[in-house]
Structure 1
Amino acid sequence: MNASKRRTRILLKDTLRLVAPPKPIKVSEWADENRVLSPEDSAEPGPWRTSRSPFQKEIMDAVTDPEIDAVVMMLGSQLGKTAIQLNVIGYYTGHDPSPIMMVQPDLGVGKDFSNDRLTPMYRDSPQLARLFGKGKSRDSRNTIYYKSFPGGRINIAGSNAPASLASKPIRILLADEIDRFAKSAGTEGDPLNLAIKRTTTFHNRKMIFVSTPTIKGHSKIEKLYEDSTQERLHFMCPSCDHLQTLSWRRIKYEYDEETSQCVEVTHACEKCGAMHEEHEWKRDYANRTKWIAGKKHATTRGFHLSALAATINYTWKMAVKEWIQANKEGKQAIKVFINTVLAETWEEEGQKLEHEILLNRREMYKARVPEGVRYITAAVDTQDTRFEIDVVGWGKGYSSWRIQRHVIVGDLNQQQPWQELDEFLSRTWKDADGRSFRPVRTLIDSGGHFTLKVYKFCKPRQGRNIYALKGEERGDGQETPLLNGVSTNNIVGATVVRVGVSEGKATVFSSLSLEPGKPGSCRFPLPHPDNPDPFVYDEEYFLQLTSEQLVTRYKEGKPYTAWVQTRARNEALDLAVYNRAAIEMINPNFDLPLPEPGSVATGAKRQKRPKKKNVSSSI
Structure 2
Amino acid sequence: MGLHIDPLATPTAARADNELLAQLLAQFAPPPKTEIVEWCESRIVLPASNAEPGPLKYTAYQRGLVEAFADPDAETVVFMLASQSGKSTAIDSALLYTVANDPGPALIVHPSEGKALDYVRNRLDPLIASTPAIRELVGKGGRTGGGSSVRHKIFPGGSVSIGSSYNPDGLAARSVRYLLLDEIDRFARSAGTEGDPVQLAIKRTRTFRSRKIILASTPTAKNSSRIAEWFFRGTQERFYIPCPECGALEYARFDQLKWQEGKPHTAHLTCDHCGHAISERERLVAIELGAWLTTAENPEPHIRSFHATELVSRFSSLESVAAQYEESKSRPEKLRVFHNTVLAETHDFGEEYQLDASELQLRAEPIAQPLPASVEKIILSTDTQLDRLETSIIAFGADDEAWVISHHKLMGSTDCAPDAGPYAALSELWGRASFRTKDGRLLPIAAGCIDGNYHSMQVAQFVASQRRKQRNIIAVRGVGGFDKPLIRRGNTLKGITTIYHVGVDSIKASLKRRLAMTEVGPGFIHLADTLEPTYFEQLANESLQTRFVRGREKLEFVPKGPRSEALDCLCYGTALARLTKATTAAPANKPQSNADIAARLAALNQLSNRKAA
TM-score in same-fold range (> 0.5):
yes
User: Which residue in 2 is equivalent to 1:155?
Assistant: 161
- The one-letter code sitting in structure 2 at the alignment partner of 1:323 is Y
Distance 1:203 1:236, change over 3 A: same
Question: Which residue number corresponds to residue 65 of structure 1?
Answer: 71
CA drift at 1:337:
0.9
Matches within 5 A, 1:43-442: 43-50=51-58, 53-132=59-138, 141-254=147-260, 257=262, 262-283=264-285, 285-297=287-299, 298-312=301-315, 314-327=316-329, 329-348=330-349, 349=352, 351=354, 365=448, 392-393=478-479, 398=484, 428-429=491-492
Equivalent residues of 2:82, 2:341 under 8 A apart:
yes
Q: Tell me whether 393-402 or 279-288 shows the greater mean CA deviation.
A: 393-402
Deviations 1:512-531 (A, max 9, x none): 62449x9xx9xxxxxxxxxx
State the one-letter code of the partner of 1:200: R
The change in CA–CA distance for 1:295 and 1:510 in structure 2 (over 3 A counts) is farther
Whole-angstrom CA distance in 2 between matches of 1:570 and 1:139: 70
Q: Give the TM-score normalised by structure 1.
A: 0.57
Q: Residues 46-70 of structure 1, C-alpha deviation per residue, up to 9 Å, x if partnerless?
A: 11112xx111111111111111101
| 2:512 is the alignment partner of 1:513 | yes
| 3-state DSSP of counterpart to 2:74 | coil
Return 5+ residue gaps in structure 1 as ranges: 1-23, 370-389, 404-426, 441-503, 522-538, 551-562, 576-596, 602-619
Q: Secondary structure at the match of 1:225?
A: helix
Question: For 1:416-565, what aligned pairs fall within 5 Å after superposition?
Answer: 428-429=491-492, 510=509, 513-515=512-514, 546=541
Distance in 2, matches of 1:203 and 1:322, equals: 44
Shift in CA distance, 308/600, structure 1 to aligned 2, threshold 3 Å: farther
CA distance 1:90–1:508, change in 2 (3 Å): farther
For 1:599 and 1:101, the matched residues in 2 are separated by 62
Cα deviation per residue 1:437-470 (whole Å; 9 max; x = unaligned)? 8999xxxxxxxxxxxxxxxxxxxxxxxxxxxxxx
Consecutive unaligned residues in structure 2, runs of 5 or more: 1-32, 362-382, 384-389, 395-446, 453-475, 518-522, 524-533, 546-556, 569-606
Equivalent position of 2:42 in the other structure? 33
Listed one character per residue, the Cα deviations across residues 270-311 of structure 1 (whole Å, up to 9, x for unaligned) are 011121202213325433444343335330111110011111
Pair 515,130 (structure 1): closer, same or farther in 2 beyond 3 Å: same
Structure 1 residues 565 and 281: CA distance shift in structure 2, 3 A: closer
Equivalent runs, 1:564-583 vs 2, <5 Å:
none
The separation in 1 between residues aligned to 2:52 and 2:125, in whole angstroms, is 18
Count of aligned residue pairs for this structure pair: 408
Quick one: which amino acid aligns to residue 52 of structure 2? E
**Comparing both structures, which one devotes a greater share of its residues to helix?**
2
Contact 1:234 1:291 survives alignment (8 Å): yes
**Other structure's SS at 1:265 match:** strand
CA distance in 1, matches of 2:255, 2:496: 46
Q: Does the 8 Å contact 1:27/1:91 carry over to 2?
A: yes
Alignment partner of 2:163: what SS?
strand
Alpha-carbon contact 1:353-1:513 (below 8 Å) kept? no
* Deviation per residue, 1:574-593 (Å, 9 max, x gap): x9xxxxxxxxxxxxxxxxxx
Identity %: 29
Aligned counterparts of 2:302 and 2:127: Cα–Cα separation in 1:
30
- Give distance in 1, aligned partners of 2:107 and 2:239: 28
Aligned partners of 1:178 and 1:210 also within 8 Å: yes
TM-score normalised per structure 2: 0.57
C-alpha change, 1:61 and 1:548, in structure 2 (3 Å) is closer
1:33 CA drift (Å): 1.7
Separation in 2, partners of 1:362, 1:106: 50
Letter of the structure 2 residue corresponding to residue 286 of structure 1: E
CA shift for structure 1 position 332: 2.0
Distance 2:90 2:281 in 1: 24
Q: CA deviation at 1:187?
A: 0.3
Q: CA deviation at 1:145?
A: 1.7
Partner AA of 2:293 in structure 1: W
**Residue identity matched to 2:310:** A
Whether the 8 Å contact between 2:486 and 2:502 is mirrored in structure 1 is: no
Per-residue deviation at 1:118?
Answer: 0.5
Distance 1:398-1:335 versus aligned 2 partners, 3 A rule: farther
The verdict on how the C-alpha distance between 1:124 and 1:232 changes in structure 2, with shifts beyond 3 A counting, is: same
Q: Which amino acid aligns with 1:204?
A: S
Distance 1:149-1:134 versus aligned 2 partners, 3 A rule? closer
Give the partner amino acid of 1:513.
K
Q: Is the 8 A contact 1:229 1:294 kept in 2?
A: yes
